[in-house]
Amino acid sequence: MEEHLMKILIVGDGNVGKSAFVNRYVNGQFNKTYKMTVGVDFSVKVLKWSEKEQVRLQLWDIAGQERFISMTRIYYKGALGCVVMFDVTESSSFLKCRHWKQDLDNKTMLPNGESIPCILLANKCDLPGRAVSADSIDEFSKANGFVTWMETSVKENKNVGESMRRLVQEILSVQ
Ligand code: GDP
């Protein structure tokens, strides 16, 4: 069995659902009051990719450090992929995605000089009162070099595994 090790960053404003996303993906749970322990560096998920390959994902959640706005280089070091998440009911969290993507592109790079694969997730799509249209997300995603974007609901387990598969697929294709 061939194993690929991938460090993946989960960034975005506070309260958009990053910890819930990691918890759902890694532990298969959604707990309304769940909060990742501050100080835990990353969570691990082993994904069976094919008959011969598995992927060991290290998911780095910025867990409460969003207020620092710009993350340290240590956090970015060795990352092969990134999830930028916002809350579709909070337009301010969408507007901040440009900043999160720029910070990422300033601090990480593939050996060939390209930016690392990054997927944009529009979370909490189960909630009424959307504040951001699909058209504007699509336009933003294309203009800012995201692999793609997807609507997710960590609460209803919509597109959680699918979005990570899409990101892993892209990471493997650029290696
Ligand atoms: P973080 O600060 O980005 O890590 O956000 P959390 O994971 O702590 O989530 C913030 C709040 O949003 C929590 O109360 C979660 O239960 C809630 N939440 C996360 N994802 C969803 C979702 O898809 N739908 C709904 N309705 N609530 C969510």
Report which ligand 1 atom has the smallest distance to the Cα of 152: 23
Return the residue whose CA atom lies nearest to atom 15 of ligand 1. Answer: 32
Return the DSSP state at 153: B
Determine the atom of ligand 1 nearest the C-alpha atom of 153.
23
CA 85 – ligand 1 centroid, Å? 11
Distance CA 90, CA 75 (A): 26
What pLDDT tens digit does each residue of the chain (175 aa) get?
A: 899 999 999 999 989 999 899 999 998 888 765 555 555 568 899 999 999 999 999 999 876 565 555 667 778 889 999 999 999 999 999 999 999 999 899 989 988 889 999 999 999 999 999 999 999 999 999 999 999 999 999 999 999 999 999 999 999 999 8
Tell me the three state secondary structure of residue 156: coil
pTM higher than 0.90, yes or no?
A: yes
pLDDT at 61: 84
Specify the DSSP element, H or E, that contains 140.
Answer: helix 134-143
Residue 87: predicted pLDDT: 98
Task: Give the number of other CB atoms < 10 A from CB of residue 125.
Answer: 19
154 Cα–ligand 1 center, Å: 7
Model pLDDT, residue 76: 86
Ligand 1 pocket test, pick from 9, 19, 29 with the greatest ligand atom count within 8 Å of Cβ, gives 19
Give nearest CA residue, ligand 1 atom 17.
17
Closest atom, ligand 1, to C-alpha of 61: 4
How far are the Cα atoms of 18, 32, 126 from residue 120, in angstroms, in the given order? 12, 23, 17
d(CA 152, CA 155): 9
Q: How far apart (Å, rounded) are the C-alpha atoms in residues 98 and 33? A: 28
Query: Among candidates 114, 18, 108, 135, which has minimal Cα distance to 65?
Result: 18
Lining ligand 1 with CB less than 6 A are: 14-20, 32, 35, 123-124, 126-127, 153-155
CA of 146 to the centre of ligand 1 (A): 22
80 Cα: distance to centroid of ligand 1 (angstroms) = 25
